[in-house]
C-alpha cells in the first residue's frame, strides 16, 4: 500500500518553512456552475480552512495567502463588497478556532484603504490570535508587490532626508525591514492554483528564490491533499540560490 503523503513528507524531512499561495480560480469555479462570482469566493473560504489545517499538519510554520490585491480594487464594486464581507465573515467565524489551534493571523497590506467594518474584522482576528505559536497565517489584503517596494523606497528616502540614515548604508536587510513581511523568512514554496503561470504582483521582493508549484485545481476545490502534493514536489527540488550544486 502506498504511504500516505504526510508520512512521506515527514520522512523526506525538508518541510518548507514558509508557503505562499495565489488562490486563483474562484470566478471560473462559479461560472462553470452557472453561479455568480462571489459564490466562488465563498466556496474558497473552505479551501482556506483546508490549507490552514494542512499546513499545521505538515509542519509548515508560515502560510501567506493572497486574498485581495491592489489591482482587485478595480473589480466591480459588488465583487469588492463581497470580498470584504468574506473577510468579515472569516474573521467572525474562524477567530476562535484559529486561536484554539495556535494560529497567529496577521493581515498585511494597505489596510488603511479598507472600510471600517473590514478594519474591525482585521482587529478582531489579529487580537484573538495574537498568542498563536503553531502557524503564522498572513492574509495579504489590499496588497501589491510593486506598491510595497515603492512604499519601502519612500520610507527609506524619508529617513535619508531627515539625516537618520546614510544612503550608502542602504542594503537588502534595510529594505526588507520596510516590507509588510518584515522579519519573516522568504517563502520557500509558492503554490498557484488554476494552472495559471503568473506571479501577479505577489511578493515580488520576497520570491527571488522561491520554488513554484502550479496546481491545475481551481481554488475552491483545493484540499490539504493538494497542499501535500505541492510540498512533496518541493521536496524533490534542488535549491541552489544561484550557487552550484553541493551534492
Ligand atoms: C482569485 O480568483 C481570487 C481572489 C481575487 C480572491 C481570493 C479570496 C479567497 C479565496 C477568499 C478567502 C478569503 C479570506 C478572507 C481568507 P479569481 O476571482 O481571479 O478567479 P478567476 O481567475 O477564475 O476569475
Which pTM does this prediction carry? 0.96
Ligand 1: distance of its center to the CA of 64 in Å?
A: 14
In a domain, 100, yes or no: yes
Give yes or no for a contact between 209 and 186, defined as CB atoms under 8 angstroms apart: yes
What pLDDT digit, counting tens, does each position of 107-130 carry?
999 999 999 999 999 999 999 999
In a domain, 40, yes or no: yes
Residue bearing the CA closest to ligand 1, atom 5: 68
Mean pLDDT (the chain, rounded): 96
CA dihedral 109→27→30→81, nearest 10 degrees, is 50
- Domain of residue 62: give its range: 22-235
Report how many domains make up the chain. 1
34 CB burial (10 A radius; 0-12, 13-18, 19+)? exposed
Read off the CATH number of the domain in which 105 is found: 3.40.1180.10
The stretch 81-108 carries a mean pLDDT of: 98
Residue bearing the CA closest to ligand 1, atom 1: 24
For cell 512604499, the residue is 151
Please say if the pLDDT value at position 247 is more than 80.
Answer: no
Strand ranges of the sheet holding 62-69, from the earlier edge strand across to the other edge: 103-108, 135-143, 62-69, 18-22, 189-192, 211-214
What pLDDT digit, counting tens, does each position of 207-222 carry?
999 999 999 999 999 9
Q: How far is the C-alpha of 80 from the C-alpha of 64, rounded, in Å?
A: 21
In a domain, 246, yes or no: no
Residues with catalytic annotation? 24, 72
In a domain, 16, yes or no: no
Residues lining ligand 1, CB < 6 A? 23-28, 41, 44-45, 48, 65, 67, 72, 83, 86-87, 90, 139, 219
Q: What is the distance between the terminal CA atoms of the chain, rounded to a whole angstrom? A: 31
Amino acid at each position: 500500500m502506498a504511504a500516505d503523503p504526510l508520512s512521506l513528507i515527514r520522512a523526506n524531512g525538508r518541510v518548507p518553512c514558509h508557503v505562499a499561495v495565489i488562490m486563483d480560480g474562484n470566478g471560473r469555479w462559479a461560472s462553470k456552475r452557472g453561479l455568480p462570482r462571489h459564490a466562488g469566493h465563498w466556496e474558497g473560504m473552505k479551501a482556506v480552512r483546508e490549507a490552514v489545517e494542512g499546513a499545521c499538519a505538515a509542519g509548515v510554520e508560515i502560510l501567506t495567502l493572497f486574498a485581495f490585491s491592489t489591482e482587485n480594487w478595480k473589480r466591480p464594486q459588488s465583487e469588492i463588497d463581497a470580498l470584504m464581507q468574506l473577510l468579515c465573515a472569516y474573521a467572525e467565524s474562524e477567530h476562535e478556532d484559529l486561536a484554539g489551534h495556535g494560529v497567529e493571523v496577521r493581515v498585511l497590506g494597505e489596510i488603511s484603504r479598507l472600510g471600517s467594518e473590514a478594519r474591525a474584522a482585521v482587529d478582531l482576528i489579529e487580537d484573538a490570535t495574537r498568542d498563536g505559536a503553531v502557524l503564522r497565517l498572513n492574509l495579504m489584503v489590499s496588497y501589491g508587490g510593486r506598491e510595497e517596494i515603492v512604499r519601502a523606497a519612500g520610507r527609506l528616502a524619508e529617513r535619508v532626508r531627515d539625516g537618520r540614515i546614510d544612503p550608502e548604508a542602504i542594503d537588502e536587510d534595510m529594505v526588507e525591514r520596510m516590507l509588510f513581511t518584515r522579519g519573516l523568512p522568504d517563502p520557500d514554496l509558492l503554490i498557484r492554483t488554476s494552472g495559471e503561470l503568473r506571479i501577479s504582483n505577489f511578493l515580488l521582493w520576497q520570491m527571488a528564490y522561491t520554488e513554484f508549484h502550479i496546481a491545475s485545481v481551481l481554488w475552491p476545490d483545493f484540499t490539504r491533499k493538494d497542499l501535500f502534493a505541492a510540498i512533496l514536489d518541493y521536496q524533490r527540488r534542488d535549491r541552489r540560490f544561484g550557487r552550484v550544486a553541493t551534492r
